[in-house]
Structure 1
Amino acid sequence: MNKKYLMGVDVGTQSAKVVIFDTEGNVICEGKQALRKLDISAPLLAEHPDDDLWDSLKVAFGKVMDNFHAQGGDASQILAMGVCVIRCCRVLLKGNGELAWPVINWMDKRLNKPYQPLECYGEVKYVTTTSGYITHRLTGEFKDTCANYIGWWPMDNDMLDWSTDPAQWESCNLSRSQVFDVVKPGEMLGYLSEKAARQIGLPAGIPVIATAHDKAVEALGAGTLEPGIALISLGTYIGAMVHGHENVKNAQNFWPFQASVPGHYLYECMGVRRGMWTISWFHDQFGAAALADAQEKDLSIEELLNREATKIPAGCEGLLTVHDWAPPSEAEFRKGAMIGFDGRHTRAHMYRSMLEGIAFTMKNHMDKMADELGIPFKGLIISGGGANSDLFMQIFADVFGVPTRRNLMKGSAAVGCAVNAGMAAGVFDSYEKATEKMVRMGEHFTPDGKNHQLYNALNADVYQKMNIYLDPLLQALSPRVD
């Protein structure tokens, strides 16, 4: 009997990835393509150049299908594909579905306000999300998931559909004719069109299935449906989230977003903007000597820095990093900082300090969310490429003081896509059974009690007070932010 397959399509800020799974959860093959660097024409502006999301995705599709055919795979046995694309972006389209303007990335300050039509945008017919745009590219339909509308959108998160309140549409400066029709996660968006099929090397007619925003899909694919189990997603934006059953109103320390399980919600606290981007920045700006050492030892630069930083004691001998390379919208004057240098400190200290700074920041945000929900964290799952680092995993376990694990597949968004696709195709009876089959657990990390005690003291006595003292200085350094 021929095997059946599911596809997960995952487009993030830095890369596009397509993964093919069998219906038992085994990874058959994948294709990946890096996105081009963002166009940053001025501070707090960020756009994806040209048609980069679609162009990169086409290459990723080509790679995965080359791998699939090399293994003797039959594309006619692909049951469905789930599609997940970076959230909180804004896409402006012409009437024919082509880009009227380059995709505006989530780091752009224009996303902090309702859509404003500008003369330079030209004739804009539709205002949509990245998932809406890629869905149109794949199917020709003007449809999108209801679960990827975060920010200035007139979405009713209770009804999982567009709002019927005229005031909400007015506040978002949009009309119903400007947005796509929406469906729920796990429902069909359309079928792969003949045109798209020729471009990406697949047979036409494959069902294209809705998921949610990227972090929600990661949470599903990581297997975090159990109460008290939180996901920390290590991406360009580092987010933390837990699943829930209610659209909590007036939450103070988290946002209730639609989950990738229809009718469920994802509670997400504040994260770290440009989180793992900062680690890449460190490699790029200060890694020349480390790269030479890594090549001499036949290691990647990441492996070398992780080995070196493992030898540095917890707390980095007084060196602390504040991760505000991309400041929050409510405090645009903030900038990143490293403080506490002395003659002992090396590149290994700096590297470890950046990892610890991420863990401190996430714990402080997540503790407030847990307190408000009344559900303490009893375990963490870490996803994303950074989860490959044993050092980073142990730092999270030690800072939080709870068992921490990673899954065999670190990019869990692709798994979540396949779960939604499998539910639509009737492969699974429930989301719980689907995640049991599709999610493969990896290594567990147990907290070191001594390090946990040290981190708690350092966090309470120093780290939590950093913004109090730095904010006035940074405001004076950046008195005007346009």
Structure 2
Amino acid sequence: MPVVVAIDNGSQSTKVLVVDETGRVRAQSRVGLRPYAVPAPGRSVHPDDDVWDSIVRACRVAMERFDGDPEEIVGVGLCTIRFCRALLRADGTLAEPLLSWMDERVARPHVPRPDVAHVVTSSGYVAHRLTGEYRDAAGNYQGLWPIDQRTWRWSDAPDATAATGMARSLLSDLVDPGAELGRVTAAAAALTGLPEGVPVFATSNDKAVEALGAGLASDEDVLLSFGTYIAAMTVADAPGAGAAHWVNFGARPGQYLAESTGIRRGMWTVSWLRDLLHPDSPEDDLYAFDRSLGAEADAVAPGCDGVAAVLDWLAPGEEPHRRGAFVGFSGAQGRGHLYRAVLEAIAFTMADHIEDMERERGVVAAGVIVTGGGAQSPLLVQIVADVLGRPVRRALVDDAAGIGAAICAAVGSGMHPDWNDAVSAMAGTGTPVRPGEHADTYRALRPWHRGIRSRVAEMSDWMVTARP
């Protein structure tokens, strides 16, 4: 049976899946990324060559675990973190470590340097390492790039180069989702264990690929992606933007996704809190601690006895003074209250962002699909259903972006004849979780939490101006 390899490189780890035509995962691996390096204020990079190194290790492990014949592999789907920038020398090596989406330089024009011959996204860099080609996924060019949102190709506008600092000679050729980026070279095959000569197919940006793998197909649903960056998306008709949403490239050719404001360190904050509370002992079982912490949070009543979290652990670029906070302590609360307060803050904040986007677009989704690490928490899923007052469905496979990358490779390789056939066969969602007994309570708590967020933002501004 033919299979495809899906590479899903995220902010905290790289995951690799080997997937058959039905969406069944035949082998998988996950390799964590190192913490971001901060060489100077406002700069955030992946240290050394960490992204590529993690992809090499994850591919090798997945290939070792695959019990089939490597000849069965008909394609590789490549999905990487969006909003990154790679500065490459003429030989394709990094001129400096990969700029993360949190680096302030990715929102600024490129400053020409004599040692930089190519400016690409993270997927453009990895595609070059795999294939030797300078060809990249058009759908991963979000942010400050000279791209035409309607044509998915480089802009012909005379001021595009001046506005971005990127002459055409610095840029890769663009291809649509499902199109071939190149073929795995002998050097890349020796490092990764992937078969030499296997075609590598473009996907899009990681959030769009996640939406594809979760089966988001229309604006009747909104997808809530519980990742390092938490975002909410739905299908849109055309490029555009408003005060409460912007439009991203989708993971099918010509498709667009409307996206709400998000939480910049969303599930990262959950991990941060867990690590902060976890006893530092080598014999401790982290998964057992996760279960214990979840059980303690589940036993806490909605509203956490007055404790609330404000999730500005990483301030938005337009309001750099904002800070995260826990407020409302009385001495009666424990770690379960803190944990549940973060989950509630995610649900309250994203519910407001989703509804703001829906009001602006004039379209209200009937259902919610959840993906990412947070979707594995029954408590968080139930809180989201209660807060939004809508049924919530979880993607069937934990790594929806991996399944999305597999779908792109399945279409590109001809394993499936078209996008609808591939999505129908390989993606899906589980049984809906409906609003429960706490829905009315959460509806009443939403203005309370909204007011706390507003007042903490005011306090953050004051703290900066008043500090000597």
For the aligned pair, the TM-score class normalised by the smaller chain equals: over 0.9
Show CA shifts across 1:244-278 (max 9, x none). Answer: 2322x343321111100101101111111111111
The alpha-carbon deviation at position 404 of structure 1 amounts to 0.6
Opposite residue 172 of structure 2, the aligned amino acid is F
Opposite residue 138 of structure 2, the aligned amino acid is C
Opposite residue 457 of structure 1, the aligned amino acid is A
Partner-residue secondary structure (3-state), 1:21: strand
Give the unaligned 5+ runs of structure 1. none
Which residue does 2:95 correspond to in 1?
100
Between stretches 304-313 and 423-432, larger displacement belongs to 423-432
Paired residue for 1:238, among 230, 252, 263? 230
Instruction: Report 1:373-384 matches (<5 A).
Output: 373-384=361-372
Paired residue for 1:264, among 232, 249, 255? 255
Residue correspondences, number: 467
Which residue does 1:455 correspond to in 2?
442
Which residue does 2:134 correspond to in 1?
142
Instruction: Report 1:7-406 matches (<5 A).
Output: 7-68=5-66, 71=67, 73-117=68-112, 123-247=115-239, 249-288=240-279, 295=285, 300-406=288-394
Q: Is the 8 A contact 1:92 1:103 kept in 2?
A: yes
Show CA shifts across 1:122-181 (max 9, x none). Answer: 611111100000000000001101111111101101011000002122111111011111
Q: Is the 8 A contact 1:294 1:304 kept in 2?
A: no
The alpha-carbon deviation at position 467 of structure 1 amounts to 4.1
Partner-residue secondary structure (3-state), 1:16: strand
Which residue does 1:475 correspond to in 2?
461
Q: Is the 8 A contact 1:156 1:162 kept in 2?
A: yes
Q: In structure 1, what is the Cα distance between the partners aligned to 2:441 and 2:284? A: 31
Partner-residue secondary structure (3-state), 1:478: helix
Residues 306 and 467 of structure 1, relative CA distance in 2, 3 Å threshold: closer
Residues 29 and 336 of structure 1, relative CA distance in 2, 3 Å threshold: same
Q: In structure 1, what is the Cα distance between the partners aligned to 2:335 and 2:279? A: 11
Partner-residue secondary structure (3-state), 1:102: coil
The alpha-carbon deviation at position 110 of structure 1 amounts to 2.0
Partner-residue secondary structure (3-state), 1:210: strand
Q: In structure 2, what is the Cα distance between the partners aligned to 1:44 and 1:350? A: 29
Q: In structure 2, what is the Cα distance between the partners aligned to 1:380 and 1:330? A: 29
Q: Is the 8 A contact 1:333 1:479 kept in 2?
A: no
Partner-residue secondary structure (3-state), 1:272: coil
Opposite residue 266 of structure 1, the aligned amino acid is L
Partner-residue secondary structure (3-state), 1:242: strand
Q: Is the 8 A contact 1:14 1:236 kept in 2?
A: yes
The alpha-carbon deviation at position 185 of structure 1 amounts to 0.8
Q: In structure 2, what is the Cα distance between the partners aligned to 1:299 and 1:38? A: 24
Partner-residue secondary structure (3-state), 1:53: helix
Q: Is the 8 A contact 1:407 1:443 kept in 2?
A: no
The alpha-carbon deviation at position 476 of structure 1 amounts to 2.8
Q: In structure 1, what is the Cα distance between the partners aligned to 2:153 and 2:147? A: 6
Show CA shifts across 1:89-143 (max 9, x none). Answer: 111000110000001111122223222347xxx6111111000000000000011
- Give percent identity, aligned residues only: 39
Between stretches 462-471 and 401-410, larger displacement belongs to 462-471
Q: RMSD of aligned C-alpha atoms?
A: 1.9
Opposite residue 216 of structure 2, the aligned amino acid is T
Q: In structure 2, what is the Cα distance between the partners aligned to 1:149 and 1:442? A: 32
Q: Is the 8 A contact 1:212 1:260 kept in 2?
A: yes
Paired residue for 2:421, among 430, 433, 438? 433
Q: Which structure 1 residue ranges, 4+ long, deviate > 3 Å from structure 2?
A: 41-44, 291-295
Q: In structure 1, what is the Cα distance between the partners aligned to 2:387 and 2:169? A: 49
Opposite residue 55 of structure 1, the aligned amino acid is D
Opposite residue 39 of structure 2, the aligned amino acid is S
Opposite residue 411 of structure 1, the aligned amino acid is D
Q: Is the 8 A contact 2:36 2:44 kept in 1?
A: yes
Opposite residue 140 of structure 2, the aligned amino acid is N
Q: Is the 8 A contact 2:127 2:136 kept in 1?
A: yes
Q: In structure 2, what is the Cα distance between the partners aligned to 1:202 and 1:43? A: 39
Opposite residue 32 of structure 2, the aligned amino acid is A
Query: Which TM-score applies when normalising by structure 2?
Result: 0.96
